[in-house]
Amino acid sequence: MTELLEVRNLNVEFPSRRGTLKALQDVSFTIAQGEILGVVGESGAGKSLTGASIIGLLDPPGRISGGEILLDGKRIDNLPDGQMRRIRGREIGAIFQDPLTSLNPLYTVGQQLTETIVTHLPLSQKQARERAIELLESTGIPAARERIDHYPHHFSGGMRQRVVIALALAAQPKLIVADEPTTALDVSIQAQIIDLLKTLCKSQGASVMLITHDMGVIAETADRVAVMYAGRIVELGPVADVIRHPQHPYTAGLMGSIPMLDKNVERLVQIDGSMPRLNAIPPGCAFHPRCTFTMPRCTQERPELLSAAASRAACWLHAQEHTHEPA
């Protein structure tokens, strides 16, 4: 498949009075056309920051300090704000966690949809309104022709998220960055929204970067998964392989903390400790203080992504020359 998005050695930092905080370090991955890549990890792992860097919405003083982001072979991380604004919406759509922060409460959903469509597509106001109605219908909004003139507060949480999905798809973008799109929703509505997102993106041929902390959502939705920890990708591979045969101890811990319906387990796995602060990331492998397989090399050298079965994992357990003694 053709690569639509390519992120090469992305580094993001936040200058502060106490020094520069490195929030992302050498993050590299690709997303092919029509592919859904899941990005998963604990809060503070760098998932949303990666998405914001791709969209060009890093909050100051955050800045990209190294690496490249290419969309369709063209570099976009160094574009002026004006050019990046034209790319957002037209080539990259965004779905955020809370739909109320994505929708302007002072305008009807129809006004917001038609403005986006007219800005990015060569359509008249009348044509844009008809397309907006079609989008609302395709996302499952009942009586879309009447409800298009309603305000965001007239919709339930699930319906607002459907409007946000319609807004993200309005200009037929190539890539959708979906940042925790189901976290604020009931479980039954979550399943509907994820199924809707998959269906609409396949019908439009869009690629998706799905950011979540929920491995269940990843299992149901993604083609590949990138597991992040302390600003780095620690495992990357096909979703079925990563879930069934995790190759990094952190991924194994995440999977072990999920209750299984077909197994009677008295106690779930718990990963001791917590994610390190940006100003206290340990040397070597950042996960080593919480890992049960730590060896001397883990505390001194930072591993790159190494071949590990069908995946790649940033863990010295997969170095050919290692000799392992559990800690």
pLDDT digits 0-9 by tens, 180-189: 888 767 777 7
Q: Is residue 327 assigned to a domain?
A: no
- pLDDT tens readout for residues 180-226: 888 767 777 788 888 888 887 888 888 999 999 888 888 889 999 99
Contacts of the segment 275-281: beta carbons below 8 A, 24+ positions apart: 275/42, 275/43, 275/44, 275/45, 275/229, 275/230, 276/230, 278/14, 278/21, 278/22, 278/23, 278/231, 279/18, 279/19, 279/21, 281/22, 281/230, 281/231
In this structure, are 110 and 80 located in the same domain? no
In this structure, are 50 and 87 located in the same domain? yes
In this structure, are 310 and 186 located in the same domain? yes
Q: Is residue 96 assigned to a domain?
A: no
- Tell me, what's the pLDDT at 322? 47
pTM for the whole structure: 0.90
In this structure, are 70 and 133 located in the same domain? no
Structural tokens at position 13:
């930092």
Q: Which domain holds residue 308?
A: 3-91+173-318
Query: What's the CA gap between 313 and 235, in Å, rounded?
Result: 4
Q: DSSP 3-state helix, strand, coil percentages of the chain (rounded to 5)?
A: 35, 25, 40
Domain containing 310 — which CATH number?
3.40.50.300
In this structure, are 189 and 307 located in the same domain? yes
Residue 299 has pLDDT above 90, yes or no: yes
In this structure, are 210 and 194 located in the same domain? yes
Question: 262: which residues sit within 8 A by CB, 6+ positions away?
Answer: none
Q: Is residue 325 assigned to a domain?
A: no
In this structure, are 236 and 271 located in the same domain? yes
In this structure, are 157 and 209 located in the same domain? no
Domain count within the chain: 2
Residue 232 has pLDDT above 90, yes or no: yes
